[in-house]
Structure 1
Amino acid sequence: MELSPPPKGLEAAYASLFTTGSLSFLHELISTFDEEMEQILQLRVSRKAHLDLSGDLPNFLESTAHIRADPDWRVLPVPTRLQKRHVDIGDMAPCDTQRFVRALQSPAQGIQVDFDDGNCPTFPNQIKGIHNVILAVNNQLPGVPHISQAPVLMLRPRAWNMVEHNMLVEGKEAPGPLFDFGLLMYHCGRTLLENQSGPFFYLSKVESLMESRLWNNIFVWTQQKLGLPLGCIKATVLIENVLATFEMEEILYELREHSAGLNCGIWDYSASFVNKFGYRRDFLLPDRSKYVNMEKRFLRSYLDLLVQTCHRRGALATGGMAALLLPQSQHADSYSKVLAAVERLKLLEINAGVDGFMVYDMNLIKPMQKLFERHSEGDNQLHQLRGDVSVTPEDLLSMPSGGVTLHGLKYNIAVGVLFINAWLSGKGHFFYRGQVEDSATAEISRSQVWQWIRHQARLEDDGRVVSRRLVTELTKELRTELGLFCRSGRSTQRLHTAADMFLEVVLKRHFPEFITSYLNLDHTFLSSHCLGEEEEEAEAAVEPSRGRSKL
């Protein structure tokens, strides 16, 4: 095993993470499951190739019909601390110590401790984030409640597509999710269990029952290796891919001893349609800012089916994250409008039967908890079996009608460029026009721009074709506009680099599967963090405090 040296200023945290015992555990964990993980990734490639070559569409599996038809099986009941999951804090990158502490002091039921969508996985960020979790679990963060009383930690390791460049195991870079999961379990698993507060996980980007089977095998192996009781690990699977929607019962079945339920979100899921079917004109996804929301047939069907599937099997169903940010002043004219907008969208999820959802803004926690209490009964809605729901493949694959607007095109370009800019500065999310943006919104943004160029979509505004030239011109305009707010030559250069990288992604002949994979493997990202970029440069010039855009 080879490990990079500690980043400057994190020597003590590094030494506490990478002990002889933890390194031995990581080596054995990764070497045990590396081959099976590679097979999973190859199966993804094979499945995508089959869809492209055959023109087939996904359907519920005939080979597992007996699992869906069996009315008797259930997941094991979740522990007491997971019975009530009304409001979790989302996009919580734990390397942000100040925000992490605030979250632990908050009245939220849980915290999505995010090493994935809302986090930029630089080596310093991973070390600092995992170390902060260890401090929280061991009650060593000042002013924070005991771990048994603080919001429950829902630990979210990186997805299968991510690698850890700073650790080589048997000559290969370590899988990002096993690096994160292994360190968290080794250092925190037993303490969380003894305090009846875990270990609980979110699993990102799962696409099939085979992938949930792999995670289950990892859980069983880890519990045996660490001397923990079977079934103590609980995991919520994020259904972020259209293919996974057709295997939700099977995913629960594979994890039935370790399941904490399924989660439903909007943007990664919508982007997966472009990922899997984007070459087909029939799956041209219209302007997300105008025509895509959870009330549309394909998304509402997905939400309803997820709730029905979970509750039928005794599992919890959770909704997505409210990205809107409340104005600082409750007396501002926009305060009530923003709050009403969040309440309307979250009430739709509550009425669909979800057992909880996430917010980014901690000022939304109490209003959303009150909303839940007004419109539901008890700690959860497992009694809502949704017998009224009957979802077909056609429902799940029905694209909403609508076109492309100039506003939507510009917005998608801005989110894509600014996400790359944030990533290059060591951050996994940023604020833009009153809401938080992360890799999920970056995925849908760059996916739509790529698809609109590919299918030569026309703007509703003036009939212009969304062409390479138009997107390039708009990106240059944005770069110039944002450049006015850059505070140094280095931040200006980084913004220019981000704009160039965005154009490279959306103009590629073949669709890059994940923007995070592209960024994580790109030489610009690697070199910038090998040089040890200073913390003050991590603040993008276009990232105003509390989410107010300077544009």
Structure 2
Amino acid sequence: MTTTIRGTLHPRFETILTPEAVAFVAALDGAFAGRRAELLQDRRDRARRISAGEKLDFLPETSRIRNDPSWTVAAPGPGLTDRRCELVSPATRKMGVHALRSGAQVWLADLEDATAPAWENVITGQVNLYDAARDQLEYTDEDGETEHGRLNPPTIIMRPRGWHLCEKHIAIDGRPISASLVDFGLYFFHNARTLIDSGAGPYFYLPKIESHAEARLWNDVFVMAQDLLGIPQGTIRATVLIETLTAAFEMDEILYELRDHCSGLNAGRWDYIFSYIRTFAQRGDEFVLPDRDRVTMTTPFMRAYTRLLVATCHKRGAHAIGGPAAVNPTRQDEESRHRAMSQVRAEKEREAAEGFDGSWVAHPAVVDTCLKAYATVLGERTCQRDVNRVSDITARDLLSLDGIQQTISLQGVRTNVTVALRYLAAWVGGTGAVAIEHLMEDAATVEISRAQLWQWVHHRSQLAEGPQVTRELVERVIEEEMTRLTQGQDDVQVARYEAARDILTQVALEEYLPGFFTNYGYVRYLTDRPLRMKGPLNPQDLRQSERVPATAAAGQGAA
């Protein structure tokens, strides 16, 4: 087995890409690449069955797990007892320093949706986390002033990329390897012991999980990683994002599979809305969602999912963490800023009243508002995991759009187009979290926009203004927005918008609805130039990391 680093080596990359660290990642890939490939195929097979009419329901074969009141997850790890406010940001030096000084209890250092997965971003993020774990993270601004992240720093939780993504810049026998294992493996190898010695530990957020079998895979990765480094079993703690519709039906089972390493579930609201659209994109009109700003946490299927999440977590002793407040209050006038912060406070107070133990925010300026909102319900307590709530949520409730007006407007189409173009232009330029119209947009919110466009075109949904949504209509709106957005821009920015239009067209207007826009965008625009794929691409071209030799896959299946 030959492991090759294909990416360009930038300053300090040698700190992260040591022979020992790379061998550790390769060992994880060697043990689990086959199971990962099988589970990703299981995802696709299940998606086809649901599109063909299969009903979503709680799994009968795991009812004993759901009905057994005796088991709980592990106690919170050191530094994880108080999670009232978690600040999510890319793992850049500037944002990392701001996060560490923000007053939040947790810094969610995001290598997933808030990071454009260019090679330099991925490994530079690891460098920054290496420094943060050692209390050495600092940032020098344009005026030459240096800020340090040393004022009562929060606990770090790192979010790796999802199982569906590959890392083309590291290859084993020519095959790209799992991006999840690269992100997890490098961080764990370099920082686990340091974090433990500092009174915390190696903690993770697990994204895009679609079944308890995928949670079991993560648990087995944790067991092997701890064994290889001689770290006691159960040291790792993971919080699972319930951000796919299928995972909502398996919350108990996901906690059970990770019970020795689990610390909670999070209501990943934006990805969850996207998953609802993607899951039912080819089903009947009854599943078509209205303009994205009309889908809120009080929409019936969203309300049911959060109620079930809180009840499930507290039944099992886990933290229930609320979704992000996405406002960017620093770019608004005073009146708008005050109104936005009032909305955030009301939303966070509602979450706390529903039983959540903490919540995400996407900007340091919102931390204090979040903490005050939770204090109105929790008082001096740091959580409410001991408050059990009875849940009577049914499968029908988790899918319900009862009472929702499925109104689609031309402005809704235009908003989806312009947000996607603006975000994707920044994304191909290397930025993964972008402030657009006073909101922090990341990959998940763009997934909503492009999936809605695909669904509306597929169903020829009728606009409130009268016309149907067709490919021709969306293409016209794209051209209009491209003209507006590129006016007066330099050649570099225009090229980025052209790339954004290409990605949006590929993932929103073609006959096939891709699972994620990131797979295509990554191989076309974010890999180092010698590795970029050119010409027409089909789904198999994007699954090179799943081409595991049969003999290796067979060996892994017994692991």
Q: TM-score, normalised by structure 2?
A: 0.90
Contact 1:284 1:451 in 2 (8 A): no
Partner of 1:3: 4
Separation in 2, partners of 1:357, 1:325: 16
Rate the CA distance shift 1:511–1:305 in 2: closer, same or farther, 3 A.
same
Structure 1 residues 36, 85: closer, same or farther in 2, change over 3 A? Answer: same
TM-fit CA distance, 1:40: 1.0
Given that 1:424 and 1:528 are in contact with CA atoms closer than 8 Å, whether structure 2 keeps it comes out as no
Deviation at 1:145, TM superposition (A): 5.0
SS of 1:63's equivalent? Answer: helix
Number of the residue aligned with 1:57 = 55
Per-residue CA distance 1:279-328 (angstroms, 9 max, x = gap) = 01245333344421000110000000000000000000001111111146
Matched residue of 1:393: which SS? Answer: coil
Q: 1:5 to 1:167 in 2, by over 3 A?
A: closer
Alignment of 1:337-376 (within 5 A): 337-376=339-378
Alignment deviations for residues 508-551 of structure 1 (CA, whole Å, 9 cap, x no partner): 112111111121232x44366979xxxxxxxxxxxxxxxxxxxx
Matched, 1:179 2:177: no
Q: Distance in 2 between matches of 1:186 and 1:62?
A: 39
2:82 paired residue number:
84
Match of 2:226 among 223, 226, 235: 223
Bigger RCO (CA 8 Å, 6+ sep): 2
371-380 vs 250-259, which moves further: 371-380
C-alpha separation between the residues in 2 aligned to 1:307 and 1:173?
38
Equivalent residue letter for 2:46: R
Could you tell me which of 108, 132, 135 is aligned with 1:136? 132
Distance 2:56 2:253 in 1: 15
Structure-2 change in CA distance of 1:259 and 1:283 (3 Å):
farther
Letter of the structure 2 residue corresponding to residue 393 of structure 1: A
TM superposition shift of 1:401? 3.1
1:101 to 97, 109, 114: 97
Check if 1:449 corresponds to 2:453. yes
How far apart, CA to CA, are the structure 2 residues paired with 1:320 and 1:479?
32
Provide the rounded CA distance (Å) in 2 between the counterparts of 1:396 and 1:511.
23
CA positional deviation for 1:20: 2.0
Q: Give the distance between the partners of 2:164 and 2:293, measured in 1 at CA.
A: 30
Offset of 1:256 from its aligned partner?
0.4
* Closer, same or farther: CA 295–199 of 1 in aligned 2, 3 Å: same
* Mapped pair 1:404 → 2:408: yes
CA displacement at 1:418 relative to structure 2: 1.8
* Distance of 2:229 and 2:214 partners within structure 1: 23
Counterpart amino acid of residue 443 in structure 2: S
Is the Cα–Cα contact under 8 Å of residues 119 and 528 in structure 2 kept in the other structure? no
In 1, are the aligned partners of 2:327 and 2:440 still within 8 Å (CA)? yes
Aligned twin of 2:544: none
The answer to whether the 8 A contact 1:216-1:258 is kept is yes
CA shift for structure 1 position 52? 2.8
Q: Is the 8 A contact 1:274 1:448 kept in 2?
A: yes
Alpha-carbon displacement from aligned partner over 1:478-526 (angstroms, at most 9, x marks no partner): 111111252x11211221231233123211112111111121232x443
C-alpha contact (below 8 Å) 1:207/1:241 kept by paired residues: yes
Q: Is the 8 A contact 2:327 2:340 kept in 1?
A: yes
1:122 alignment partner in structure 2: 118
Deviations 1:413-445 (CA, angstroms, capped at 9, x unpaired): 112112221121011121110111001100100
Q: 1:186 to 1:290 in 2, by over 3 A?
A: closer
Per-residue CA distance 1:140-188 (angstroms, 9 max, x = gap): 22454559x4111110000011110100113310100000100000000
The 2-side partners of 1:406 and 1:240 are apart by 28
Distance 1:397 1:144, change over 3 A: same
| Identity value in percent | 34
Q: CA deviation at 1:198?
A: 1.6
Given that residues 209 and 243 in structure 2 are in contact (C-alpha distance below 8 angstroms), is that contact kept between their aligned partners in structure 1? yes
Alignment correspondent of 2:27: 28
Within 1, Cα distance between the matches of 2:526 and 2:249? 35
> Post-superposition shift, 1:5?
5.5
Structure 1 SS opposite 2:323: strand
Q: Which amino acid aligns with 1:115?
A: L
Partner of residue 553, structure 2: none
Q: In 2, are the aligned partners of 1:409 and 1:449 still within 8 Å (CA)? A: yes
- In the alignment, is the contact (CA less than 8 A) between 1:74 and 1:314 conserved in 2? yes
Counterpart of 2:527 in 1: which secondary structure? Answer: helix
Aligned to 1:543: none
Counterpart CA distance in 1 for 2:190 and 2:14 is: 13
Amino acid at match of 1:35: G
> How far does residue 203 in structure 1 lie from its aligned partner after superposition?
0.2
Pairing partner for 2:280 from 273, 277, 281: 277
Question: 1:316 maps to what in 2?
Answer: 319
> Counterpart of 2:61 in 1: which secondary structure?
coil
Identify the residue that residue 527 of structure 2 maps to in structure 1: 526
Cα distance in 2 for partners of 1:125, 1:293 equals 32
1:542 equivalent in structure 2: none
Write the letter of the residue equivalent to 2:339.
Answer: K
Does the 8 Å CA contact 1:265/1:320 hold for their aligned counterparts?
Answer: yes
Q: 1 CA distance for matches of 2:13 and 2:37?
A: 28
- State the alpha-carbon separation in 2 of the partners of residues 122 and 111 from structure 1: 22
The one of 72, 75, 84 aligned to 1:74: 72
Amino acid at match of 2:135: N
CA deviation vs aligned residue, 1:217-244 (integer Å, no higher than 9, x gap): 0001111111101100000000110000
Q: Give 1:375-386 correspondences, 5 Å limit.
A: 375-377=377-379, 378-386=381-389
Q: Which runs of 5+ in 1 are unaligned?
A: 532-551
Q: CA 1:530/1:484 → structure 2, altered by over 3 Å: closer, same or farther? A: farther
**Contact 2:291/2:409 (8 A) holds in 1:** no
Matches within 5 A, 1:179-328: 179-327=182-330
Letter in 2 for 1:17: I
In 2, Cα distance between the equivalents of 1:527 and 1:21?
Answer: 24
Contact (CA 8 Å) 2:7, 2:528: kept in 1 or not?
Answer: no
**Separation of aligned partners in 1, 2:71 and 2:31:** 30
The match for 2:545 is none
Work out the CA distance in 1 between the residues paired with 2:175 and 2:418. 36
C-alpha separation in 2, matches of 1:416 and 1:281: 25
Task: Rate the CA distance shift 1:118–1:189 in 2: closer, same or farther, 3 A.
Answer: same
SS at match of 1:81: coil
Partner SS, residue 239 of structure 2 = strand
User: For 1:154-165, what aligned pairs fall within 5 Å after superposition?
Assistant: 154-165=157-168
